[in-house]
């Protein structure tokens, strides 16, 4: 999965970020019962983000077919839904995008009685800031944004700090990549400086801009697409990126002994991808049933065992591979979790983040 936040902002998204007064007319919930289907399912998801065995298992259990289509960023997904060219029944937007789409009236409120497995969610993943009452979304997977590295660069004993990027050792200057993403790159700088990733202080944001500019000679590239491949391929030694992408690459190349990942001690971004039903969906009840299917304990574990992202499903824990469950870079302990922040929609200030990142890269 590639989470790309606000690289290109469609005009409609600008309006949403700025708090468009018109918004959208709220959609009404649909009367569905647990296990009910009302047609085949069109699933719009990130690529390589679901255990391929789960789709045929759902089809066999409920007698429907599932068509998968993939998107590469939240913005691409949003634009496709806005265009209305295809009536997707279920989408997997990231945290901040849920709030934007809900505010614009683009999502159908969930009929919670049709999703009894919502009870399996870890309390940490209820009451989330982007959907406080859980009316529009159900968590799918979650992870962190941190630093992937080659042991050749950092060794075995090092301070797990953002200083690896923002005060780099001369030996790997020019061999660092950062996400080509305004909120993530600036958020990393803000955390290193001791600020919130969701600041609305222009002074704090300017400090982050100045910090990123000061280390530009050390940065090989800003990239949100190939950073994990660049790391395992030796193109860079340090990479800022999303947890599961690194783990998938390490596993795919048998690179666990040569590469690692850590969550910086100053704190970092935590993100949640979610299941939501677009207002334009045809098979609304099938979508509810698929959400419930994915929140089943064993199915939730299968998802994590496949893609190395943490499950928000507490009931899944007993079925998760013990090595994954015990890996603190995938399942951070409580004291680390407390230092994580979810990216929030900052309204009109979103444009300042975009302008600031443009300034950094120019």
* Whether the predicted pLDDT of 160 surpasses 70: yes
The number of residues making up the chain comes to 362
Q: Which of 5-9, 188-192, 238-242, 342-346 has the lowest mean pLDDT?
A: 5-9
The answer to whether position 9 is within a domain reads no
Contact 167, 144 (CB under 8 A): no
Clarify whether residues 49 and 114 are in a common domain.
Answer: yes
Q: How many CB atoms lie within 10 A of CB 12?
A: 15
The answer to whether position 7 is within a domain reads no
Clarify whether residues 125 and 89 are in a common domain.
Answer: yes
* Whether the predicted pLDDT of 63 surpasses 50: yes
Q: How many CB atoms lie within 10 A of CB 116?
A: 13
The answer to whether position 298 is within a domain reads yes
Clarify whether residues 228 and 353 are in a common domain.
Answer: yes
* Whether the predicted pLDDT of 27 surpasses 90: no
Residue 128 sits in which domain range?
A: 27-142+272-331
Predicted local confidence at residue 26, as pLDDT: 65
Q: Which of 20-34, 119-133, 231-245, 263-277 has the lowest mean pLDDT?
A: 20-34
Q: What is the CA radius of gyration of the chain?
A: 20
Query: How far, in Å, are 99, 208, 324, 352 from residue 203 at the CA level?
Result: 26, 9, 40, 12
The alpha carbon torsion through 21, 136, 13, 46 (nearest 10 deg) reads 180
Clarify whether residues 297 and 349 are in a common domain.
Answer: no
Clarify whether residues 34 and 122 are in a common domain.
Answer: yes
The answer to whether position 338 is within a domain reads no
Considering its fold, how many domains does the chain have in total?
2
Contact 339, 327 (CB under 8 A): no
The answer to whether position 77 is within a domain reads yes
Per-residue pLDDT tens over the stretch 169-185: 999 999 999 999 889 99
Q: Does residue 80 come out as left (phi exceeding 0), alpha (psi in the -120 to 50 range) or beta?
A: alpha
Q: pTM to 2 decimals?
A: 0.81
* Whether the predicted pLDDT of 2 surpasses 60: no
The answer to whether position 15 is within a domain reads no
* Whether the predicted pLDDT of 9 surpasses 80: no
Which residue reads 């708090």 in tokens?
19
Contact 148, 244 (CB under 8 A): no
Task: Provide mean pLDDT across the span 239-253.
Answer: 93
Clarify whether residues 253 and 311 are in a common domain.
Answer: no
The answer to whether position 1 is within a domain reads no
Q: Residue 18: which pLDDT band, with cuts at 50, 70 and 90?
A: very low
Averaged pLDDT of the chain: 91
The answer to whether position 19 is within a domain reads no
Clarify whether residues 36 and 132 are in a common domain.
Answer: yes
* Whether the predicted pLDDT of 24 surpasses 60: no
Clarify whether residues 215 and 354 are in a common domain.
Answer: yes
Predicted local confidence at residue 156, as pLDDT: 86
Clarify whether residues 34 and 120 are in a common domain.
Answer: yes
Q: Does residue 90 come out as left (phi exceeding 0), alpha (psi in the -120 to 50 range) or beta?
A: beta
Task: Provide mean pLDDT across the span 93-106.
Answer: 92
* Residue 71, domain CATH: 3.40.190.10
Clarify whether residues 148 and 138 are in a common domain.
Answer: no
């Amino acid at each position: 999965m590639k989470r790309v936040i606000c690289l290109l902002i469609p005009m409609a998204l600008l309006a949403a970020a700025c708090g468009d007064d018109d918004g959208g007319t709220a959609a009404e919930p649909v009367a569905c019962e647990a296990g009910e289907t009302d047609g085949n399912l069109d699933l719009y998801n990130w690529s390589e983000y679901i255990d391929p065995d789960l789709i045929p298992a759902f089809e066999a259990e409920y007698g429907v077919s599932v068509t998968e289509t993939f998107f590469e960023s939240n913005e691409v997904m949003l634009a496709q839904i806005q265009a209305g060219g295809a009536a997707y029944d279920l989408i997997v937007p990231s945290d901040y995008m849920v709030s934007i789409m809900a505010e614009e009236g683009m999502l159908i409120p969930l009929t919670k009685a049709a999703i009894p497995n919502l009870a399996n969610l870890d309390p940490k993943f209820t009451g989330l800031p982007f959907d406080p009452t859980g009316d529009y979304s159900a968590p799918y997977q979650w992870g962190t944004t941190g630093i992937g590295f080659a042991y050749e660069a950092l060794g075995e004993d090092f301070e797990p700090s953002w200083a690896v990027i923002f005060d780099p050792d001369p030996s790997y200057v020019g061999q660092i990549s950062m996400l080509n993403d305004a909120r993530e790159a600036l958020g990393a700088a803000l955390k290193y400086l001791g600020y919130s990733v969701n600041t609305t202080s222009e002074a704090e944001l300017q400090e982050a801009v100045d910090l990123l500019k000061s280390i530009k000679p050390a940065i090989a590239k800003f990239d949100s697409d190939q950073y994990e491949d660049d790391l395992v391929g030796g193109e860079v030694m340090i990479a800022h990126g999303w947890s599961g992408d690194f783990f998938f690459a390490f596993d795919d190349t048998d690179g666990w002994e040569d590469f690692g990942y850590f969550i910086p001690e100053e704190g970092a971004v935590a993100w949640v991808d979610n299941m939501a039903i677009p207002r334009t969906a045809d098979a609304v009840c099938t979508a509810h049933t698929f959400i419930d299917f994915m929140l089943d304990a064993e199915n939730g574990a299968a998802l994590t065992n496949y893609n190395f992202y943490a499950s928000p499903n507490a009931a899944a824990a007993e079925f998760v591979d013990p090595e994954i469950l015990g890996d603190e870079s995938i399942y951070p302990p409580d004291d680390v979790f407390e230092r994580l922040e979810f990216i929030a929609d900052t309204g009109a200030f979103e444009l300042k983040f975009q302008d600031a990142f443009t300034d950094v890269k120019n």
